[in-house]
Amino acid sequence: MEVTEFLLATAVAHVGFAIFVAVHAHLTDEEAGYWPYVTLLLGIAGVAGYFFYEEQSESGHI
């Protein structure tokens, strides 16, 4: 695989993952927050963060 093909495939995958995160958030009435942007930069790591990261409540407990 050539470098340009690899970079194009990676860019397409990251955009697809970001769209998936945004659509999932919309369908489940959740806020996507900054996760679509993180996913554009980091790909599958952003998807994992979207699904597994939980913000702490004001009391400091999850």
CA 6 from centroid of its chain's CA atoms = 20
Which pTM was predicted? Answer: 0.76
Identify the band that residue 58 occupies on the pLDDT scale cut at 50, 70 and 90: low
Spatial contact of 46 and 21, defined as CB atoms under 8 Å apart: yes
Residue 44's closest CA among 9, 4, 14?
14
DSSP class of residue 30 equals -
Structure confidence by residue, pLDDT tens digits, 12-55? 999 999 999 999 999 999 888 899 999 998 888 888 888 888 66
pLDDT band at 61 (very low <50, low <70, confident <90, very high): very low
